[in-house]
Amino acid sequence: MDGKFAVVTGGASGLGAYIAEALCTKGARVIIADIDVKGAESVAKRISSAVPNAEIAFLPLDLSDPASIEGFAARYISEHDALDLLINNAGIMTPPYGLTEKGFELQWGINHLGHFALTYHLMPLLSSTPGSRLVTQTSIVHRGGRINFKDINSELSYSPWKAYKQSKLATLLFSRELDVRVRSMGMEAPISIASHPGLVNTQLYRNRERMMRWLRPFMHGLEAGSVPALRAALDPDAESGDMYGPKGWMEFRGRTVKVRPHGKGKDMDLASKVWELSENMTGLDLTMRLEDCAASESR
């Protein structure tokens, strides 16, 4: 990664901070994209002290606000001529019911639609950077996820856990559908790879303390939990459409290996429907953007 550019969403804490530091040790120029200004500045300072010659910067990003997402992308593109790695890592888990700036349920809006929009805005730079990768952080709970098309924003009934699983199923389906569409258009970049960290003791569980106490024996630490995303980002043998996660029981923890989607995560017809829904909800035609990028590559 010497001299290559990497953007890590949610890099101000938890797994994102570990991923950002690991990329810096590999020589990457890392940009932390996060809403938490103080946290990001603290992480950047710590990494700069711990990693000799680290190139680490911070740009504010609120994934619940389309204007912030577009502004982040515009600023990044104005200051950089390449994007070698985008890790869509940020996320929230089981908060009280709330809505994004555009009225989307928070987990659906931040975990999935926010990253969908960010990918849209950064796609021209990703596609023009040879060998670029887009890593999407999903969760093992995608295995129990369902996409409730009739109540996608949980307006009729809100279950924090069901909404979280729905959002993480969507992130996986997006990663897989992006791979299909990029390859079908003959584009060489970016390759789209998914990862899930297993069960990790992070602040994501702050709304589920009882669950965390029960799950703690099955969890591994932040360093181990960061490895699947790092394998997806760095493994020279990784291929578009791959997915990385822990090998252990129920994929909760263990050595990182290539894993397969579970449940609805295998349904590519569903992936196409989620893609179309995401375009309609965000008002961003990622299909046309990919076509434009493919046309630019062929010139």
**Pick from 20, 46, 14, 47: nearest CA to 32:** 20
Q: What residue has token string 């009729």?
A: 156
d(CA 8, CA 126): 14
Residue 106 CB burial class (10 angstroms; 0-12, 13-18, ≥19): buried
Catalytic annotation, pick one of 120, 164, 205, 244:
164
The helix/strand/coil state of 5 is strand
Do 98 and 267 contact (CB within 8 A), yes or no?
no
Which distant-in-sequence residues (6+ apart) come within 8 Å of 51 by Cβ? Answer: 21, 24, 25
> 97 an active-site residue?
no
Residue 83 CB-half CA count within 13 A: 28
Chain-centre distance for alpha carbon 81? 22
Distances (CA, A) of 244 to 30, 187, 194, 241: 22, 23, 6, 10
Count the alpha carbons within 13 Å of 220 in the hemisphere toward its beta carbon. 21
Contacts of 27 (CB under 8 A, 6+ apart): 1, 2, 3, 4
| Gap between the Cα atoms of 284 and 273, Å rounded | 15
Contact 191, 238 (CB under 8 A): yes
Give catalytic residue positions. 164
